[in-house]
Amino acid sequence: MNNFISSYTLEFSHPLKKILHELKSRSTLSNVAFDDFISFDKNSRLHSVKTNTSIEESGDFVFVDVIHDLLSEFDQLEIGGSFIDDYGKGYVNSLAEKQYTSTH
């Protein structure tokens, strides 16, 4: 399988702000550009930070595997957003799966 570049625009949310700070310092997320500002939504009681990354993926590595591992590791962590890759574009659902809304 050929390598390809995927771009992700994601939002990480968690009830504890310190968890988002920990994620920002993770070496497995070193290619992810986190916004400096962590917001807080009073209605949902969640802290959130937006991210952007472009990453090389292949048959052996897809970034949603990293997202899935984070969701497994951190209880109450929510990650969602959009992506564009060589096959199309869509969103990343709450199970860390790519859902295509259009293909090339």
For 84-101, write each residue's pLDDT tens digit.
999 999 999 988 999 999
Centre a 10 Å sphere on the Cβ of residue 93 and count the other Cβ atoms it contains. Answer: 12
CA–CA distance, 92 with 81 (Å, rounded to integer):
5
Q: How many domains would you assign to the chain?
A: 1
Place of tokens 């771009």: 7
Arithmetic mean of pLDDT, 25-29: 85
Owning domain of residue 13: 4-103
Arithmetic mean of pLDDT, 11-36: 92
Structure confidence at residue 2 (pLDDT): 86
CA–CA distance, 16 with 101 (Å, rounded to integer):
32
Strand-pair category, 46-57 with 33-34 = antiparallel
Place of tokens 């984070």: 70
Query: For residue 27, is pLDDT > 80?
Result: no
**pLDDT of 52-96, one tens digit each?**
999 999 988 899 999 999 999 999 999 999 999 999 999 999 889
